[in-house]
Structure 1
């Protein structure tokens, strides 16, 4: 039995703690990036496609927003994949 009454054999190792911490950081980063993506899409696409907001979208506005969002998300994904790939290469070079 451990010092505080727990089973010391079940205590997470420092590597386990590090892994859990890194997973939490990745999740928080993903949430922050998703928020940033939504903000940028709104900033770029909405302003570009809907010059005078009304109570409804007309078909041209819907089409414009849809296409703009697709292009922006495609570009975002390309940049993200490239960044991740570069970071992985640099991390391998450090090891």
Structure 2
């Protein structure tokens, strides 16, 4: 860990930004994986070569609801973190 302490401030900022980007990518991958898994289970009863119109509609609505829910939870969590940090 001594290598991190030898970094300049700009290098530390750059490293932090790289870590934030990697976390954002990991979170997006996790979101996509969970959304795909849950919507597939909910909407596709008999997997086949193509999706029929009702499956397409179900998938679309499921993904929209999942994204809306995820965004709401993310905003609420972020707001709570900000409130907690302002109390410190």
Please say whether Structure 1 and Structure 2 have the same fold, judged by a TM-score greater than 0.5. Answer: yes
Higher helix proportion: 2
Q: TM-score, normalised by structure 1?
A: 0.78
Structure number with larger C-alpha Rg = 1
SS at match of 2:12: helix
- Aligned: 1:28 with 2:22: yes
Stretches of 4+ moved more than 6 A in 1? Answer: none
- Alignment partners' CA distance in 2, 1:82 and 1:17: 32
Residue 89 of structure 1 is matched in structure 2 by: 83
- Alignment partners' CA distance in 1, 2:11 and 2:80: 26
- Alignment partners' CA distance in 1, 2:59 and 2:45: 12
Structure 1: which 5+ runs fail to align? Answer: 1-11
Distance apart, 1:25 and its partner CA: 1.7
Q: TM-score, normalised by structure 2?
A: 0.83
